[in-house]
Amino acid sequence: MAKKINVLIIEDEPLIINVLENALHQISEANGLLDFKIKSVTNCDSANAEIQNAVHSIPIDLLLLDISIPASLDKKLLSGVDIGVRTKELFPNVKTIVFTSYNNNYKLNNILKSLNPEGFLIKSDIDFVKLMDAITTVISNEPYYSKFILQLMRVNMSNDFVLDKIDRQLLYEISKGTQMKDITKIIPLSKSAIEYRKRNLKDLFEVQNGNDRLLISKAKECGFI
């Protein structure tokens, strides 16, 4: 009897969704012992809805996750990183394969440390055969990282440059020009706590003497916005 694997694809590009679905279908046909039940969504709100539905029905076994997807309307989920963290909290046994177009070391290292995915692929670093190989490898309980990610892990895993959800949300609000009095209504921290985090961010991005505009410019350069 074929083993049923419930898959959630989170990707905002329809062409890539089709590629991922085709890869799963081909793996199933070639293997004969795997039956993928696939759902696909394109943004944080839809992803969160599917995750919550799965809590009360059938757990997610495999998550194919793009990092750069539209944020939730309430801005509590800003990217695939937040979705990945939430999914792992609710389904500790889920296997996650991350797909991204980012090639910035700071951003990629942050994703690695935040999600610790079983698979991590740079979109420009793989082809269809490697994609199928990655999925098959992860299903077999082995990690799979594309060449660029392996190089990053060797060079930068000692880097502690990691931002938590509140840091990323603060950067997002500053980038929009949100006033401090309004930020305290969105982020559940006091004004002094937010100012403290902002100072820490400026230290991390080495813009201690710069204004907020320079901070946001550096954060964008490093792929955090």
The answer to whether residues 35 and 103 belong to one domain is yes
CATH number of the domain where residue 115 is located: 3.40.50.2300
This prediction has a pTM of: 0.74
Alpha-carbon span 131 to 122, nearest angstrom: 10
Question: 88 and 8 in one domain?
Answer: yes
**In terms of domains, do 152 and 196 share one?**
no
The total number of residues written for the chain in this structure: 225
pLDDT value at position 157?
47
Considering the domain architecture, whether residues 146 and 181 belong to the same structural domain is answered as no
Tell me: pLDDT of 1 over 90.
no
Distance of alpha carbon 172 from alpha carbon 220, whole angstroms: 10
Q: What's the domain count of the chain? A: 2
Model pLDDT, residue 218 = 83
* Domain membership of residue 208 as a residue range: 165-221
Q: pLDDT tens digit string along 102-141?
A: 877 778 888 888 899 999 999 888 899 999 999 999 999 9
Residue 155's pLDDT is: 58
More confident residue, 180 or 209: 180
What confidence tens digit (pLDDT) does each residue in 147-201 have?
Answer: 888 877 765 544 555 678 888 899 999 998 998 889 998 998 888 888 888 888 8
Structure tokens of 133? 């190989």
